[in-house]
Amino acid sequence: MIKVKVKDILSQKNRSIYWLSSNTNLTYPTLYRMVNQQTEGIQFHTLEEVMKALNITDFNQILELVDEEK
């Protein structure tokens, strides 16, 4: 499973999903689903917009591969 670490980053930067939506061309519901791990996939454009808004240049800062225990 790939974990999107946007929630952690927003918390560290004292920012909200609303702030992120206002600083990207992405809707609040899209970002909410991403932040709360409620999506099956992410478009590269969406990832790029989020990374630019959060000043992230390394994918390792925003994505993490985690083992799923079965």
Q: Structural domain boundaries of the chain?
A: 2-65
Pairing of strands 2-4, 63-65: antiparallel
Q: Which residue has the higher pLDDT, 70 or 65?
A: 65
pLDDT (0 to 100) of residue 69: 74
pLDDT (0 to 100) of residue 57: 95
Classify 2-65 by CATH class. Answer: mainly alpha
Could you read off the pLDDT of 16-61 as tens digits, one per residue?
999 999 999 999 999 999 999 999 999 999 999 999 999 999 999 9
Q: What is the pTM of this model?
A: 0.87
Number of other CB atoms surrounding residue 54 within 10 Å? 18
CA–CA distance, 64 with 60 (Å, rounded to integer): 6
CA–CA distance, 7 with 34 (Å, rounded to integer): 9
User: pLDDT grade, residue 70 (50/70/90)?
Assistant: low
